[in-house]
Amino acid sequence: MQANELYLKLTQTHLHPSPRVLEVGFGLGVNFRATLERCRERGVYLEYLGYEAFPVSRAVLASVEMPLSAPAQKVWEDLLEGWPAEPHRPFCLEGAWGRLEVRFEDVTQALLPNGWATALYLDPFSPKVNPEPWQPDVLEKLFWAARGGARLATYSVAGAPRRALAAAGFVVSKVPGIGKKAWLVAERPEV
Ligand SMILES: C[S@@+](CC[C@H](N)C(=O)[O-])C[C@H]1O[C@@H](n2cnc3c(N)ncnc32)[C@H](O)[C@@H]1O
């Protein structure tokens, strides 16, 4: 499954003792649920910050089911219960499992935290159809949002964002994906 192989493993979130994930494109919460599930299995506290410019309704979120353990399913049901009908303010959910915040903002306009993330999931639609979040100024903001040693993962190996990630200061590598696809990992070097 792409969420596990691409986002969790390439960012090494599946090993991190106290992961802080920043995601561009919270979407249907698939990556969130996969990350939550692994963190629950390992008993580690998860902090997850998602940016989503075009949030879907609770009904759409609920329609996309995933097999989850009972503790992770409970968190997901709490999310569904609290998901706002008209999202304006950030949505927050917190418990012994960790903390989720979804900011209903266009990431191109958003203020990101500084030096916060241990992992960055860059998961908007493709650079061709959804070019805005792949622009150099956004990728540079992601660099500053990352801690030293943090990794960004994305499914697109398109040349322009790849060069912009390198120009922002990331060490960028293409890695084999599923099937014939390649994926991208970008690491913010330790200072
Ligand atoms: C491929 S989907 C994300 C899937 C999601 N990561 C998941 O696990 O379900 C891409 C998402 O990026 C969001 N998006 C596109 N442009 C954006 C922007 N400028 N700022 C924030 N979110 C954006 C879209 O609304 C869409 O929900």
CATH of the domain at 36: 3.40.50.150
**Atom 24 (ligand 1): residue with closest C-alpha?**
25
CA of 24 to the centre of ligand 1 (A): 6
**Successive 10-residue mean pLDDT values, the chain, 191 residues:** 92 98 98 98 98 97 97 98 93 98 98 98 96 98 98 96 98 92 96 79
Report strand pairing: 117-122 vs 91-95.
unpaired
Domain count along the chain: 1
> For position 31, what pLDDT does the model report?
98
Backbone angles phi, psi at 49, to 5 degrees: -120, 115
Q: Which residues line ligand 1 (CB under 6 A)?
A: 24-31, 51-54, 106-108, 123-125, 130, 132-133
Task: Give the E-state strand segments of the chain in sequence order.
Answer: 20-24, 46-51, 91-95, 98-103, 117-122, 146-154, 171-176, 182-187
**Atom 19 (ligand 1): residue with closest C-alpha?**
106
Closest to 138 in 3D by CA, of 109, 177, 103, 174: 109
Q: In what order do the strands lie in the sheet with 146-154?
A: 91-95, 98-103, 46-51, 20-24, 117-122, 146-154, 182-187, 171-176
> For position 156, what pLDDT does the model report?
95
> For position 88, what pLDDT does the model report?
83
Looking up tokens 């990728």, which residue turns up? 139
Q: Helix or strand or coil: residue 188?
A: coil
Looking up tokens 């304006």, which residue turns up? 88
> For position 17, what pLDDT does the model report?
98
> For position 49, what pLDDT does the model report?
98
Closest to 29 in 3D by CA, of 71, 58, 69: 58
CA of 109 to the centre of ligand 1 (A): 14
CA of 52 to the centre of ligand 1 (A): 6
Contact between 186 and 172 (Cβ < 8 Å): yes
Q: Which domain holds residue 29?
A: 2-187
Backbone angles phi, psi at 188, to 5 degrees: -85, 115
CA of 39 to the centre of ligand 1 (A): 22
Closest to 110 in 3D by CA, of 33, 49, 188: 49
